Structure formats: structure tokens, C-alpha cells
């Protein structure tokens, strides 16, 4: 909505035409002058990601916001490509999309890529022996927190590779804090439900406020390459966007390089000269 008000030409990615059109209509009702369209994208399908990139990647792209994702289902599920669903949707899908849209981004003067992580990344660990929950599966504190940590690692490693090659591009990351969205439907287990019931009254905000760190990373002239932004309130749960601390596990360059290589091998997507940085 904010980008539409600012006059941006927006492509909204949606899994179905009906959901996409509904989003377009809702924006249009509030911002009648909005230049907005929808396009089918299912991040749980590499074929869908490739088809989206083929449709939308033939024009210059100023901004890519890797926002869509999924919570952890009670039991381990697989994508159509055989990836664990949370890891495939939240991490491998955006990784693939970014790589495929890189040429379109580089056709503009000051392109940005913003990847949405999560405060849950602080509890994540990249377990290369159980990367896709093959050995054990825990929805929130295993699969979800690891995938969101992977998103943050990707955003930082992407910027390191940009810097090393002198590429005209900016990568930043953010998290929304505790924003009340339909992702809450994935909350399971008595402990998690009790925790959210306790936190929600005093440590949450609505989806619009949850979007502010994303907008800051995407549009602010003060946002920095490789920056990480979240709410300024207690526990980074709600508030207004500021630079927030990066978990130590997200700045391990050896882990980042290994994860990048594995991601390229799993998806078959490379980032041109950025892939060859040692």
C-alpha cells in the first residue's frame, strides 16, 4: 500500500490468480491511482519460480522484496521438488528467485534486494547434517528458525559478494517483530500457544506496523548495504524500524559460503560473477 501511494509500479506475487486479484483490488480501492498487477508465483515450486522470472524479468527491476513464506506444519512435508517445505519455501525459493531476477535488477541505477528474516533466526542453527529435517523435524524451533536464519545469512553473504565484485546492487535484511498475521495459524504445541497468548497483548503489533522495517530497508536513504532492521521496542517485538543486532551465527562466513554452494547445487541457479567469489 505504501509503495502504491509513492507511485511505484508494483508486481504482487501470489500463489493463485484469485488471491492476486484480491490483493490488487484491495490496494486499488484505497489507492485509486495505484499501478499494481499480480503474477503467479509459488515459492515451493522451482518451475513456478522460473516461470515468474521469465514473465517479469524482461524489464528493469528497481526493488525485489523477498517477503512470502510459510510456518512449520505439524508434520514434515515436501515441496514438489522434494525439499522440506519450510526450507524450500522460505529459503530456496527466494534464493532462486533472486538469482533469476539478478539481470533485471542490474538494468536499473540503484537496485535493492530486501529479504525478510525473523527474530526466530536468533534461535536457529544451520545444521548441515539435518538441513532439510531428514533426521528430525521440529516445526518452529527447528525448520522455521533455521530457514529464517538462512535468509539472513543469504542477505549478508549476497552483500559480501556484491562488494567483492563491485556490483551496483544493495542487499539488506529485516524482520517484522511480532506482527499479527495469518502465519499464526502454524502455532502448535501447548508451550508455543501459551507463549503467544502471554506476549500478544503487550508485545505485538499489526501487519501494517510489521511492514515498516521492510519499507525502511527497501526505501530509506539511511538504510545500509548489509544492514539488518527490525522494531525498536523490547525484544524487537514491536515499534518503529531501527538497525538491530545480527545473531553471531548469521555472520559466520564459512557457513555462509557452504550454504551458498549447497543452495546453488540444489536449485541449479547461479548468480553469475557473484558465484565465483571465494
Instruction: State phi, psi for 163 to the nearest 5 degrees.
Output: -65, -40
Residue 71 to residue 86: CA distance in whole angstroms: 7
Using alpha carbons, select from 229, 236, 235, 234 the residue that is nearest to residue 212: 229
| Tally of residues, the chain | 278
Q: Are 40 and 16 in contact (CB under 8 A)?
A: yes
Which of these is catalytic: 144, 178, 216, 228? 144
**Residue that is written with C-alpha cell 555462509 in the block:** 256
Indicate the pairing of strand 179-180 with strand 170-174.
unpaired
Category of 239 on φ-ψ map: left (φ > 0), alpha (ψ -120 to 50) or beta: left
Half-sphere exposure of 105 (CA within 13 A, CB side): 21
Indicate the pairing of strand 35-40 with strand 63-66.
unpaired
Residue 80 to residue 90: CA distance in whole angstroms: 14
Using alpha carbons, select from 254, 241, 232 the residue that is nearest to residue 211: 241
User: In 54-121, where do the E strands start and end?
Assistant: 63-66, 112-116
Please confirm, yes or no, whether 228 is among the known catalytic residues. no
Annotated catalytic residues are: 144
Amino acid at each position: 500500500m505504501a509503495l502504491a501511494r509513492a507511485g511505484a509500479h508494483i508486481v504482487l506475487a501470489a500463489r493463485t490468480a484469485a488471491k492476486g486479484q484480491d490483493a490488487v483490488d484491495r490496494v486499488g480501492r484505497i489507492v485509486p491511482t495505484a499501478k499494481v498487477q499480480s503474477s503467479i508465483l509459488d515459492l515451493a515450486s522451482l518451475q513456478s519460480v522460473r516461470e515468474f522470472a521469465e514473465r517479469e524479468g524482461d524489464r528493469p527491476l528497481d526493488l525485489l522484496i523477498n517477503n512470502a513464506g510459510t510456518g512449520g506444519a505439524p508434520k514434515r512435508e515436501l515441496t514438489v521438488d522434494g525439499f522440506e517445505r519450510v526450507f524450500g519455501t522460505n529459503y530456496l525459493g527466494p534464493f532462486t528467485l533472486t538469482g533469476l531476477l539478478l539481470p533485471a535488477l542490474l538494468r536499473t541505477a540503484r537496485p535493492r534486494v530486501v529479504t525478510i528474516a525473523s527474530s526466530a533466526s536468533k534461535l536457529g542453527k544451520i545444521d548441515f547434517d539435518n538441513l532439510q529435517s531428514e533426521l528430525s523435524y521440529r516445526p518452529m524451533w527447528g525448520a522455521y528458525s533455521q530457514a529464517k536464519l538462512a535468509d539472513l545469512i543469504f542477505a549478508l553473504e549476497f552483500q559480501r559478494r556484491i562488494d567483492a565484485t563491485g556490483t551496483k546492487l544493495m542487499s539488506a535484511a529485516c524482520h517484522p517483530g511480532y506482527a499479527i498475521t495469518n502465519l499464526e495459524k502454524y502455532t502448535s504445541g501447548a508451550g508455543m500457544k501459551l507463549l503467544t497468548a502471554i506476549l500478544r497483548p503487550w508485545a505485538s503489533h499489526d501487519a501494517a506496523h510489521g511492514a515498516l522495517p521492510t519499507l525502511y530497508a527497501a526505501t530509506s536513504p539511511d538504510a545500509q548495504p548489509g544492514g539488518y532492521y527490525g522494531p525498536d521496542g523490547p525484544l524487537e517485538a514491536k515499534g518503529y524500524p531501527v538497525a538491530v543486532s545480527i545473531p553471531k551465527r548469521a555472520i559466520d562466513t564459512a557457513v555462509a559460503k557452504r550454504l551458498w554452494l549447497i543452495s546453488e547445487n540444489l536449485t541449479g541457479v547461479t548468480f553469475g560473477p557473484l558465484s565465483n567469489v571465494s
